[in-house]
Chain A
Amino acid sequence: MTDIAIARREGGMTALVRHARYVISENPVTGFAFALFLLIVLAAAFGPHLVPYDPLASDTAEALKAPSAHHWFGTDKYGRDLFSRVVVATRLDFFIAVASVVLVFLMGGLAGVAAGFFGGWTDRIVGRIADTIMAFPLFVLAMGIVAAMGNTVQNIVLATAIVNFPLYARIARAEANVRREAGFVEAARLSGNSDWRILTFQILPNVFPILVVQMSLTMGYAILNAAGLSFIGLGVRPPTPEWGIMVAEGASYMISGEWWNAFFPGGALMIAVFCFNLLGDGLRDMVDPRKRT
């Protein structure tokens, strides 16, 4: 009896940690992605307290200085420290990405699973909504939503979520649909589970890991989308530090030789997207029990 109790407790947290350690040691790239992710999270959490300069304070005497020991990433046209701005911007960009991905996970994931499991009219309605969204060029649709609803962070989050909706709805629908007739669903019915219980306790746990991988992949896209909106002036407003705006502001200095203005925020953007994409692969190995040894 106690054997089971121990075995079951082991099946929980410690086993997951042990497994995570195993996956990372098997695949150094995943470890690297996790390290990068940790760095991004730390920058988002503590960045504003750690940076050497106030990201908003201008100093015209120091304008457009190349990277040096004082200003690691150089300064922009108002003499603001680019390193401080890039680090501080992490929080806003990371928040937009996480919030929009969580939102679309809830909307698209649940709608898709319900569509795949119940079929019929639920399926048709969700499918048509997804088709309608996909009929638009996605970035233009995001632009339209933000332009129509107003230039706020909430609307950027919402627009990014809506744009990603078809992707999540379709994946969740396909995954739930193949499992609808699975033996274990019938077995669950025999065990006295209602449709909703089957959906939440039998189907969702099987679809979840696939969506988690998708979340990590779209997180990079969400950051790009938010930065893109800001780049064309439809997102966060200056002087708020944000990678998209900073790239937009720095772009005009590329020709005149002040490359650091666009290079560092662009590099931060690239690293973040890169990290989330790598993370997706690692997460899939981690949450899939079949890969457990």
Chain B
Amino acid sequence: MTILLDVADVSKLFTAGGPGAWTRLKRRLAGGPQTLPKVHAVEDVSFVINKGETVGLVGESGCGKSTLVRALTRLVDLSEGSIKLGDRELSLKAARVFARDRDRARIQMVFQDAGESINPRFTAFDAIADPLRRLRKLHGKALIERVETVATQCGLPPQLLSRFPHQLSGGQRARVGIARAIAVQPDLLVLDEPTAALDVSVQVVILQLLQRLKKDIGMSYLFVSHDLSVLRLLCDRVLVMYLGKIVESGPAATVFEKPLHPYTQALVAAVPRLHQSGAERLRLIGEPRSPIDPDPNVCRFYGRCPRGTDACKAAMPALRALGDRQVACHFA
């Protein structure tokens, strides 16, 4: 299998709070050192996505999924690390320059809320045509033809193309969002909870559409979702994220069948099942640790982990290989 995307040691830190702009400027003029508290949204994340593979990304709200996705799609700049797509390094250019880069078309994204991700003043046609105009330099007849082809491919009748987003149903908007993303035929499509805003009957249809498009176009998927059953169904491999770090990764079936990391175990246990009483379920208590300047020697899951011992606050467990999967836990 050939590697399509190679993500190595990617970190994204945000400045949190601290003094205001005037104070900072004064300090800078005075030449004093400035250390501001940092939010470690994503830390030392490495993984690969092979050609034609679907990789799932799962984790609770605030664990850094969205930041990781925005870093990979080059919407924000990385603090550290490298992103290689094929033999091209993507992390060297600043995000605002990358917008006009020739590799821009190769990673596209489907947003969580299709309604919010389409400009309310753009018709469906304009929304789908935008990347084609900018990245493929298509105009006139060729553009209209291409937009129609893509729309039809995504199950959107061409008659709907002159409509504004508020005149479309949730499912139709989702199709517009997908059509826009695949119009430039990317190598990697990032799906940020593409079905979260849809009702269940439409979810299935959209997931089937995505499966078919993947085969037709030959893309790889990075699928972000909360829905474990969807991930298990669609993904070849999954990555489990907790507080900015990947804590477990491996083939979807085995990770969900036999989770090794206590966080994954809790995640799997949280899936509602018919014949199970609440008592035997593994439950997480309390809040995650603070992501602001976390102690590099303490396991991120310590304090919430049912197995936490002194070893967990003495050394951060590294992500180590265990057969065909990787786990970051001392006890796995």
Which of A4-12, A143-151, A216-224, A249-257 is the interface stretch? A4-12
Q: Is the interface of B mostly helix, strand, loop or mixed?
A: helix
Asked if A191 is at the interface (CB within 8 A of a chain B CB), the reply is yes
On chain B, the residues within 8 Å of A192 by CB distance are 99-100, 104-105, 131, 134-135
Give per-residue flags for A193-206: 1 if the beta carbon is below 8 A from chain B beta carbons, else 0: 11101000010011
In the assembled complex, the Cα of A191 lies from the Cα of B177 at a distance in Å of 12
A183 adjacent to B109 (CB under 8 Å): no
B130 adjacent to A186 (CB under 8 Å): no
Check A3/B120 contact, CB under 8 A, given A193-B99, A194-B100: no
Which of chain A's residues has its CB closest to B183's CB?
A191
Pick the contact of A193 from B125, B134, B166 — CB < 8 Å?
A: B134
On chain B, the residues within 8 Å of A188 by CB distance are 119, 130
On chain B, the residues within 8 Å of A182 by CB distance are 116-117
Check A1/B145 contact, CB under 8 A, given A187-B180, A192-B99, A192-B134: yes
B120 adjacent to A186 (CB under 8 Å): no
The count of chain A contact residues (Cβ–Cβ below 8 Å) is: 31
Which of chain A's residues has its CB closest to B166's CB?
A290
A206 adjacent to B158 (CB under 8 Å): no
CB distance from A79 to the nearest CB of B (A): 56
Q: Which of A8, A186, A292 has the most CB of B within 10 A?
A: A186
Chain A residues with CB under 8 Å of chain B are: 1, 3-5, 7-8, 10-11, 120-121, 124, 182-184, 186-195, 197, 202, 205-206, 289-290, 292
Which of chain A's residues has its CB closest to B113's CB?
A183
Check A1/B144 contact, CB under 8 A, given A184-B119, A190-B104, A191-B131: yes
Check A289/B105 contact, CB under 8 A, given A7-B159, A192-B100: no
On chain A, the residues within 8 Å of B117 by CB distance are 182-184, 186-187
5 contacts between A and B (CB under 8 A): A187-B118, A187-B127, A190-B131, A193-B99, A290-B166
Closest 3 CB pairs of A and B: A183-B117, A7-B162, A191-B131
On chain A, the residues within 8 Å of B121 by CB distance are 205-206, 289
On chain B, the residues within 8 Å of A1 by CB distance are 141, 144-145, 148
Asked if B73 is at the interface (CB within 8 A of a chain A CB), the reply is yes
Give per-residue flags for B112-150: 1 if the beta carbon is below 8 A from chain A beta carbons, else 0: 110011111111010100110011000001001101100
In the assembled complex, the Cα of A11 lies from the Cα of B125 at a distance in Å of 11
CB distance from B159 to the nearest CB of A (A): 6
A183 adjacent to B111 (CB under 8 Å): yes
CB distance from A189 to the nearest CB of B (A): 5
On chain A, the residues within 8 Å of B108 by CB distance are 190
B21 adjacent to A124 (CB under 8 Å): yes
Chain B residues with CB under 8 Å of chain A are: 21, 70, 73, 75, 95-96, 99-100, 104-105, 108-109, 111-113, 116-123, 125, 127, 130-131, 134-135, 141, 144-145, 147-148, 158-159, 161-162, 164, 166-167, 177, 180-181
On chain A, the residues within 8 Å of B104 by CB distance are 190, 192
Which of chain B's residues has its CB closest to A121's CB?
B21
Pick the contact of B161 from A7, A195, A206, A289 — CB < 8 Å?
A: A7
On chain A, the residues within 8 Å of B116 by CB distance are 182-184
Count CB-based A-B contacts (< 8 Å): 100
B130 adjacent to A193 (CB under 8 Å): yes
On chain A, the residues within 8 Å of B100 by CB distance are 192, 194
Which of chain A's residues has its CB closest to B131's CB?
A191
On chain B, the residues within 8 Å of A184 by CB distance are 116-120, 122
In the assembled complex, the Cα of A1 lies from the Cα of B147 at a distance in Å of 10
In the assembled complex, the Cα of A186 lies from the Cα of B109 at a distance in Å of 10
In the assembled complex, the Cα of A187 lies from the Cα of B122 at a distance in Å of 12
Q: Which of B70, B122, B145 has the most CB of A within 10 A?
A: B122
A10 adjacent to B180 (CB under 8 Å): no
Q: Which of A11, A189, A290, A292 has the most CB of B within 10 A?
A: A189
List 20 additional A-B contacts (Cβ < 8 Å) besides A189-B95, A289-B164. Answer: A4-B125, A7-B159, A11-B123, A121-B21, A183-B112, A183-B113, A183-B117, A187-B111, A187-B177, A187-B180, A189-B75, A190-B73, A191-B180, A192-B131, A194-B96, A197-B134, A289-B166, A290-B120, A290-B166, A292-B164
Pick the contact of A202 from B96, B112, B119 — CB < 8 Å?
A: B119
On chain B, the residues within 8 Å of A205 by CB distance are 119, 121
In the assembled complex, the Cα of A132 lies from the Cα of B117 at a distance in Å of 37
Check A191/B144 contact, CB under 8 A, given A4-B158, A183-B116: no
Which of chain B's residues has its CB closest to A2's CB?
B144
CB distance from A261 to the nearest CB of B (A): 49
In the assembled complex, the Cα of A190 lies from the Cα of B69 at a distance in Å of 12
A190 adjacent to B75 (CB under 8 Å): yes
On chain B, the residues within 8 Å of A193 by CB distance are 99, 130, 134
On chain A, the residues within 8 Å of B111 by CB distance are 183, 186-187
In the assembled complex, the Cα of A49 lies from the Cα of B100 at a distance in Å of 56
CB distance from B191 to the nearest CB of A (A): 13
In the assembled complex, the Cα of A3 lies from the Cα of B157 at a distance in Å of 11
On chain A, the residues within 8 Å of B70 by CB distance are 186
Which of chain A's residues has its CB closest to B135's CB?
A192
